[in-house]
Amino acid sequence: MTCSLSRALLPVAFACLGASAVHAQSDAERHPGWSLGVAAAWSPSPYRSYDNKAWPLPLVNYEGKSFYFRGASFGYRLFTTASSELSLVASPMTERFRHQDASDARLKRLSDRDISGMAGVAWRYRADWGVLKASAQKEFTGHGGGVQLDAGYGYPIRSGNLVLTPTVGVMRRNGALDDYYYGVGANEAARSGLAAYRAGGGNLPYLDLAAAYRLSPRWNVAGGMRYTRLPDAIKDSPMVDADHTRSFFFAISHSF
């Protein structure tokens, strides 16, 4: 499962942190059916001189016998036991760049980078000692066909109605994916004055802290934060002036 940073990456925080917060609750007790709510996410963009804003977002989750919809991810279970789940998944790679949101005159002359669709497989295993997760997804919307791998370990800490889940993990993205979002082509370099740049692949280690609190049998609040270290392939891009990202998420939802 994949997982924004301002307008550029705001939905990434929604997809990732939202899923983390949902999982913090679902690891404690998952109920079939719908939950609806509202969420807000925010994080500074790694893009140079980029407009950062927090945005309210709808939150829709569904747990069915075979299908589920969690945050921004859709899944179909191939195999399920009391402790493990293997699914086909589709989710947005919602990093994006809008040149009109940049205050740097050179970045304003670059082409936009759009949201990408990702699809693949995801696996989760829950035990007394924690939760393991892993996924492999490929971009299918014509933005380079890149691949992203994600693996992590979390340990839910329960205290009454509160579930606190710290998670450590790493994403691996190949050059096709990074180059679409952070590369600078020859034509862009000529019109912007930035150096041409071809981004390679790299590892993005991250730390999550997600919390979920049951206000009542049907009302829940959840929140989370993520710190991600950027690889040299992204840090060295002339579009970027950061070596890490921080993401924050909060949501309230009602189960039916």
- Listing DSSP states for 111-164 in one string gives PPB--EEEEEEEEEEEETTEEEEEEEEEE-SSS---EEEEEEEE--EEETTEEE
Which amino acid type is present at position 138? K
pLDDT single digits (tens) 171-209? 999 999 999 999 999 999 999 999 999 999 999 999 999
| pLDDT grade for 53, boundaries at 50, 70 and 90 | low
pLDDT single digits (tens) 54-104? 667 788 888 888 999 887 889 999 999 989 999 999 998 878 888 988 888
Q: Cα dist. 81→69, 88, 133, 186 in Å?
A: 19, 16, 15, 51
For position 24, what pLDDT does the model report?
45
For position 128, what pLDDT does the model report?
93
For position 4, what pLDDT does the model report?
35
Residue of 122, 117, 174 whose CA lies nearest to 140: 117
pLDDT single digits (tens) 135-182? 999 999 999 889 999 999 999 999 999 999 999 999 999 999 999 999
Residue of 241, 212, 99, 120 whose CA lies nearest to 171: 120
For 64, the 3-state DSSP assignment is coil
Q: Is the pLDDT of residue 37 over 90?
A: no
Q: How far is the first Cα of the chain from the last one, in angstroms, to the nearest whole number?
A: 25
pLDDT single digits (tens) 105-123? 999 999 999 989 999 999 9
**How do beta strands 130-139 and 84-93 pair?**
unpaired
How large is the average pLDDT for residues 239-254?
A: 90
Residue of 207, 212, 198, 240 whose CA lies nearest to 225: 207
Least confident of 16-30, 61-75, 186-200, 225-239: 16-30
